[in-house]
C-alpha cells in the first residue's frame, strides 16, 4: 500500500570518506550524533561516490596509458585521453559514441554516460569508477545498520544518470538490499475495476530521485534516510532493474 | 540550496474528477477538509489522469474509426484497433514500432509509450489523452491555489513513463508552473573546488517521482504536496525539459 506521508531527512556530519572507510559504521555514528530516530522500514540512500571512495574505486590518472583509440577520440573532442581510456576499459558495450559523448554499457549492464566514470568530487588527477557490485555494497551497509539499530531497514546505492529524450539528469538506483527495485501492480485493479495497464513501478529509482532532492550536488550530504515508504522487506537486486539487451529497443 | 528535510503528503478526499471539474478549487477544498497547512514554496504534484479528465481529454472508443494501418498493427499484436488509431493520431513521430510496442513522440515533444494514450483508470471503452498543454494546466491550478492560500506555490503535472535500458516505469513532469524544471549547477564547485561535471538536474522529474511514492497506482490519491524543497520561484515550462530531436542520440 502506498504511504500517506513520506519524510526524507539528510544525515548531517558524514565525514570525508576515504579508501577503507567503514561506511555503515560511519553512517550510524552520524545518525546518532544528529539524534535521528531510526525506525523499522527506514530506507537509507547512499550516493555512489562515497561508496566508490570507501571501496577504493578511484583511479589515479598518472598510472593510465591511453590506447590510440582513446587518444584519437580525446584529441577530436578536447578530452583527457587518460579519462577516455578508463571509460573504454569500464565499458562492455559502446551504445553511442558521437558528438563527444560516450554512452556505454557497464559490466553490470547499466547504460550511462562515460560508463559511470566520474571526475567530479574526487581529487584532481583522479577519477572514480562505479562500485564493483553495488548490491553487495548496499548489503554490507545494511548489515551494519541493522545490527546498530536492531530493526529491519533497506539500503539503496544511488547515482546520477542522464536519459534519452529529456534534458537534465536524475538519480537512479545502482544497487539495493532489503528492498525489491520494482513494485509490480499486475493483478491489481484500478479504480474502475479494470486491470492496471501501467503495472511495474521502479520504486528504487524513484526513491533515489527523491533522495537527490535532499542531497543536492554541492553539499557534503551523501546519505539520506527515507521514512514512511511502505514496502515488503524482500531482497532484490539491481539485475531486476537492468533491462536485458534482447528486450531493449534502444541498444 | 538543497533542503535538509522534505515531506511529501497525500491530499486525501479528492472526489472523482469529471470533465469540467475545477481542479484547483477541488484540491483547495480537500486540503482544507484535511486541515493541511499550506506554506510558501509548497509544491503540488497532480497526476495527469485527473487533469486529462477535468479537461475532457477522454475519447470514447465507439466514435473511433481505425485506419487500415491501425487495423493491421492491432491484428498482428492482439490490440484494440481503435486504441491504436488514437495512439497514431496523437503521435507526431513514431520512434519505435516493434514487438507490439509503440514508442512515439507527441505533439508536445514527449517520447513515451502509446503517445501518452492510456486505458487504465478510465471507464471501459474510453481512453485518456495527455492534456493539450500541461504547462497551462499547471498554471491554471496554480493561480487558483495561490489565490486560495495567499502564498507563492508551484504545481507540477506528472505522468508515468517507461524508459530505455531500465525496467519499470517512473513518474516524470509533463508540465509545471512556478518552478523551473531544471536546476543548473554549472559554475558551482564540488567539494574539491573543481567545477561540477554533472551540472543540470531535472528536479521537476525527481519531484514527480518522489510524489509517485505517495500516490501509488491503485488508490484515489491523485494529488500530493511536497514541503521543504528549496527552489527559486521562477516560471519554467516543459519545453526546457524536452530534448530537441537534433540534440538527441536516441530518436
State residue B197's pLDDT score: 61
Which residues of chain B are within 8 Å of residue A170 when distances are taken between CB atoms? 201-202, 205-206, 209
Nearest to A197 among B118, B163, B181 (CB): B118
Query: CA nearest A181 in B: which residue?
Result: B168
pLDDT, average across residues A220-234: 91
pLDDT, average across residues A81-107: 94
Q: How far is CA A219 from the centre of its chain?
A: 17
* Nearest Cα residue to B185 out of A86, A215, A143: A215
pLDDT reading at A165 higher than 70: yes
- B58-128 is classed CATH 3.90.1660.10: yes
Nearest to B210 among A166, A209, A216 (CB): A209
Burial of B154 (0-12, 13-18, 19+ CB in 10 A): buried
Mark yes or no for CB contact A8/B214 under 8 Å: no
Higher pLDDT, B215 or A153: A153
Query: CA nearest A109 in B: which residue?
Result: B165
pLDDT, average across residues B99-117: 94
* Nearest Cα residue to A161 out of B3, B5, B212, B163: B163
Mark yes or no for CB contact B251/A167 under 8 Å: no
Q: Is A248 on the interface with B (CB under 8 A)?
A: yes
Burial of A163 (0-12, 13-18, 19+ CB in 10 A): buried
pLDDT, average across residues A160-165: 95
Q: Is B187 on the interface with A (CB under 8 A)?
A: no
Contact A144, A22 (CB under 8 A): yes
Contact A241, B167 (CB under 8 A): yes
State residue A185's pLDDT score: 80
> Which tens digits make up the pLDDT trace of B44-94?
999 999 999 999 999 999 999 999 999 999 999 999 999 999 999 999 999
pLDDT, average across residues A120-144: 93
Higher pLDDT, B191 or A244: A244
State residue A217's pLDDT score: 60
State the angle between helix axes of B81-89 and B68-77 in degrees (0 to 180), rounded to the nearest 10: 130
CA angle, residues B134, B207, B204, in degrees to nearest 5: 50
Which of the four pLDDT bands, split at 50, 70 and 90, describes residue A11? very high
Residues forming a β-bridge with B189: B195
Mark yes or no for CB contact B170/A218 under 8 Å: no
Nearest to A206 among B170, B182, B220 (CB): B170
- Residue written as cell 562515497? A50
Measured CA to CA, the distance from residue B206 to residue A8 in angstroms comes to 13
State residue B1's pLDDT score: 40
Which of the four pLDDT bands, split at 50, 70 and 90, describes residue B2? very low
> Which cell is B2 given?
538543497
Contact A230, A4 (CB under 8 A): no
Which of the four pLDDT bands, split at 50, 70 and 90, describes residue B220? confident
* Alpha-carbon distance values, B42 to B47, B104, B230 (Å): 16, 33, 9
Residue numbers of A between 98 and 117 with CB closer than 8 Å to B: 98-99, 101, 103, 110-111
Which residues of chain B are within 8 Å of residue A215 when distances are taken between CB atoms? 2
Candidates B3, B47, B118, B165, partner chain A, best to mutate (most A CBs within 10 A):
B165
Phi-psi region of B173 (alpha: psi -120 to 50; beta: other; left: phi over 0): beta
State residue A1's pLDDT score: 41
Measured CA to CA, the distance from residue A114 to residue A103 in angstroms comes to 6
The CATH H-level (homologous superfamily) assignment of domain A7-57+131-241 is CofE-like (3.30.1330.100)
pLDDT, average across residues B170-180: 97
Mark yes or no for CB contact A170/B205 under 8 Å: yes
Q: Decide if the complex's ipTM is over 0.90.
A: yes
Mark yes or no for CB contact B103/A5 under 8 Å: no
* Nearest Cα residue to B1 out of B177, B191, B228: B228
Bridge-based pairing of strands A154-161 and A43-47 is: parallel
CA atoms within 13 Å, Cβ hemisphere of B40? 4
Coil/strand/helix, residue A79: coil
Mark yes or no for CB contact A210/B213 under 8 Å: yes
The residue extents of the domains of chain B are 7-57+131-242, 58-128
Measured CA to CA, the distance from residue A214 to residue A5 in angstroms comes to 16
> Which tens digits make up the pLDDT trace of A111-131?
999 999 998 767 789 999 999
Architecture in CATH of B7-57+131-242: 2-Layer Sandwich (3.30)
* Nearest Cα residue to B40 out of B205, B172, B179: B179
**Shortest Cα distance, chain B CAs vs residue A132, angstroms:** 19
> Which tens digits make up the pLDDT trace of A28-69?
999 999 999 999 999 999 999 999 999 999 999 999 999 999
Mark yes or no for CB contact B188/A218 under 8 Å: yes
Mark yes or no for CB contact A210/B6 under 8 Å: yes
CB-based contacts of A194, cutoff 8 Å, min separation 6: B119, B120, B121, B124
Phi-psi region of A180 (alpha: psi -120 to 50; beta: other; left: phi over 0): beta
pLDDT reading at B171 higher than 80: yes
Cα Rg of chain B, angstroms:
19
Q: Is B10 on the interface with A (CB under 8 A)?
A: yes
Lowest-confidence region among A152-156, A169-173, A180-184: A180-184
Which residues of chain A are within 8 Å of residue B215 when distances are taken between CB atoms? 2
A169 CB neighbour count, 10 Å cutoff? 23
Amino acid at each position: 500500500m502506498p504511504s500517506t506521508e513520506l519524510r526524507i531527512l539528510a544525515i548531517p556530519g558524514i565525514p570525508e570518506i576515504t579508501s577503507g572507510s567503514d561506511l555503515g559504521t560511519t553512517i550510524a555514528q552520524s545518525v546518532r550524533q544528529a539524534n535521528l530516530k531510526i525506525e523499522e522500514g527506514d530506507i537509507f540512500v547512499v550516493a555512489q561516490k562515497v561508496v566508490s571512495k570507501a571501496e577504493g574505486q578511484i583511479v589515479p590518472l598518472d598510472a593510465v596509458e591511453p590506447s590510440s583509440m582513446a587518444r584519437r577520440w580525446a584529441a577530436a573532442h578536447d578530452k583527457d585521453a587518460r579519462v577516455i581510456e578508463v571509460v573504454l576499459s569500464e565499458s562492455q558495450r559502446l551504445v553511442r559514441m558521437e558528438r563527444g559523448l560516450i554512452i556505454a554499457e557497464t559490466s553490470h549492464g547499466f547504460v550511462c554516460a562515460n560508463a559511470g566514470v566520474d571526475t567530479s568530487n574526487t581529487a584532481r588527477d583522479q577519477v572514480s569508477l562505479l562500485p564493483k557490485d553495488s548490491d553487495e555494497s548496499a548489503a554490507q551497509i545494511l548489515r551494519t545498520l541493522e545490527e546498530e539499530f536492531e530493526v529491519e531497514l533497506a539500503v539503496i546505492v544511488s547515482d546520477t544518470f542522464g536519459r534519452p529524450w529529456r534534458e537534465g539528469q536524475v538519480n537512479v538506483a545502482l544497487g539495493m538490499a532489503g528492498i525489491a527495485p520494482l513494485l509490480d501492480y499486475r493483478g491489481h485493479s484500478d479504480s474502475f475495476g479494470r486491470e492496471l495497464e501501467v503495472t511495474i513501478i521502479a520504486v528504487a529509482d524513484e526513491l533515489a530521485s527523491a533522495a537527490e532532492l535532499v542531497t543536492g550536488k554541492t553539499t557534503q550530504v551523501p546519505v539520506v534516510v527515507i521514512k514512511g515508504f511502505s514496502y515488503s522487506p524482500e531482497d532484490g537486486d539491481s539485475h531486476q532493474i537492468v533491462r536485458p539487451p534482447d528486450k531493449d529497443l534502444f541498444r
